[in-house]
Chains A and B, each alone.
Chain A
C-alpha cells in the first residue's frame, strides 16, 4: 500500500486539477443553456445540458466540492421534470433554472478542505449562542519582534493578544486555558516542528479543539500536511498578510456565533419526535415537531427551519411525496431534507434521495450520528445561502438581501406588534480615505466597521452592506430610542479605533440616521426616512447619530 502522505498529495493534485477545469465546465454549461431555443423544444441540446450537469452531480463531492454536487443534483432533478414535458420552457421555468445556475456558480467557489475530518472538527462544533466572539488570541512565536508586530496590528482590530516566545511558557499556560484562538509559528530554535507538536499535545483529548492558525516561513507540502493533521484551520506564510489573518479570525468568530440551528421533525409518532427533539436540543438546536404531514407547509412558513427531518412512512402522506411538495415551494428549494426510516434497503434509500432528499438516516440512529449529520448538512446549506446572500468583502448581507430581510421583519413586527428600528450608517469622508491611503486600506476600514457592528449588536439584529461605504442595520424588538443608545455607543468606539497605513495611524468616523416602525409601517418608507435623517446628521457636522422626528403613525387611533 502507498504511504498515506503520498496518497494525500496525489489526491490533492487530482482535486486541484478538477478545480482548475471547473470554471471551463461551468462556462460550457451556461453556453449550452443559453443556446437552447426559447420557443421550441430542442431534445438534443437539452440532453447535452442534462448530461453535463449530471456529470457535476456525480463528481463534485469526490473532489471536495460537496456543495456543487448538492446544487447540481437539485438542478438536474429540475431538468428531469422539464424533460418529461418536452415543450418550450415557460418564463417561470427559465428563471428558475437561471437561479439554480447562479447557485451552481457560487457553489463552485466553495471547496472543502481535503482533510475534511480535521476541518469539520473545528467548524462542525455545535454553535453556542452564549459563546462570546473569541477575541483572545495567543501568539506563539520565538522571534519577539515579529510577535510584537502581530500584537500591535491585531490590537487595532480589537483583539486582545498575549505573546509567548517559548514552547515551555506556552505549554504551561495552556493547561488552564480555554476559549482562545492560537496563532503559532512552526519552527523553534530547539525543535524545527515544535509548533505543530505542541498543538497536537494540547488538542489531545479535547472535545472542542482550539482554533489554530499556523504561520511559517516554510512552504513545503509535508509541513502543511502535518499542520492540517494537528487541526490547523489555516496556514499562512510569512511575512503574514494581516488582512488574510483577520479574515481567518473572522471566519472562526462567525462559525462560533451563529444562531442555534432550527430543525423541523415530521413524524406521525409522538414518541419518535420527542426523542429526536431531545437529542437535537441537547446539541443546542431548536426543534419543532409536526405530526400531521398536512400541516407541514404552514409550519414551514412559520418556523422557518434550517433543515427538515422526515419520517419516510406516514399514514396520510409518505415522506417522499412530502419532499417533492416542499421542493416545489420557491423559498424551500435548497433547504436540506433528511429522511429517517427503519428502511435499510439501499434501493429505497436511493429512491428517497432521488426525490429531493439530501440524506438518509436509518432508524434506530445513534444520537451522536444524528447530531453530526444534521449539523454538517445545515452548515453546508448555510454556507451556500451565505454565498448567495452575503457581501463578499464584509460577510454582511448584501443590498438585496438586507432589503428582503427588512420586508420580512416589518411584516413580522406588524403581525406581532413588536417594535423594530432601522438605521442607515455612512462612513464620513470615505473618498478621502481611499484617495489618501489607497483602496486596500479603505476596504480594511469598511471591514473593521462591519466587524464592530457584528460584535456589538445582538445576534438577532441584521446588518447589511447597503452600498460602498453605507451600512444598513435592522434592530428587532427595539424602538428608535434603544437603537440610538446602542448605535451611538458604537459610533464613539469606532471613532477611537486606530487604523494603520504604512506606519501612520489615522481615525475614521461615521454618521447614522434612525427611524422605527411606530413612525413608518413600510420598509421603503423606513429606508427613505432613515436616509433623510442620515443626511441631516452629515449636514450637522458628521460623526453623530440622528433620529427621525416624524410623528408616531396613527397613534391617536390606537391609544
Chain B
C-alpha cells in the first residue's frame, strides 16, 4: 500500500514561480508544501518538515539542484526520499546526469500550473508501483 503523498518540499529561487507552484500544489493538489529559496535553506528546514518528496530547481544561484541533492542524500533520513528536478535546463548531457544522480523524474519548465499537481501525483504513484 502506497503512502499517501502529503508533504512536499520545493526548492526554487524565483519568487513568482514559488507562488504559482504553491498555489498549484496546495489548492489543486491538496498537499502541504514547504518552499525554500535556496539549497542551504532546504538543508536546514527539511529535518523539521520531514517531506515525503523533494522538488528541486536545477539552476539556482549559489548551491544548484544537483549539489543540494548530494547534501540531502548525506542526511540519513533523506537517503532514499524521492527527488524530482524541475527545470528548463534540458541539455543532453545534463538530463543523463540527473538520472545518474538518482532523481526519479524531471518535470520540464515552464510547467502548466493547472497540471502540476496531477503530474507530481503521477510520478509519485509510478515511483511506488
Interface of A with B (CB < 8 Å)? 1-2, 6-7, 10-11, 14, 17-18, 21, 51, 54-55, 57-63, 66, 69, 73, 80, 346-347, 350-351, 353-355
Contact = CB atoms under 8 A, between A and B. Distances in A.
B16 A51 contact: no
Contacts of B96: 347
Contact of B109 (A6, A18, A51, A58): A58
Closest 6 CB pairs of A and B: A58-B88, A61-B110, A58-B109, A2-B27, A350-B90, A62-B110
Contacts, number: 79
Given A14-B16, A80-B91, A347-B95, A57 B109 contact: yes
Contacts of A59: 14, 16-17, 109-110
Contacts of A62: 17, 20, 109-113
A424 B88 CA distance: 48
Contact of A7 (B17, B23, B110): B23
B110 A14 contact: no
B110 A57 contact: yes
A380 to B, nearest CB: 14
Given A57-B88, A350-B106, A10 B23 contact: yes
A69 B110 CA distance: 7
Contacts of B70: none
Looking at chain A's contact residues, is the secondary structure mostly helix, strand, loop, or mixed?
Answer: helix
A539 to B, nearest CB: 58
A173 B93 CA distance: 62
Looking at chain B's contact residues, is the secondary structure mostly helix, strand, loop, or mixed?
Answer: mixed
B90 A54 contact: no
A69 B61 CA distance: 21
Given A14-B16, A18-B16, A351-B90, A54 B95 contact: no
Interface residues of B, number: 29
Given A11-B23, A51-B61, A354-B90, 11 more contacts: A10-B27, A54-B59, A59-B14, A59-B109, A61-B111, A62-B110, A69-B110, A347-B96, A347-B106, A351-B95, A354-B92
A341 B35 CA distance: 37
A60 B99 CA distance: 26
A279 B106 CA distance: 32
B27 A1 contact: yes
B102 interface: no
B20 to A, nearest CB: 5
Nearest to B96: A347
Contacts of B112: 61-62
B113 A11 contact: yes
Contact of A350 (B16, B26, B108, B110): B108
Given A1-B27, A54-B89, A63 B16 contact: yes
Nearest to B23: A10
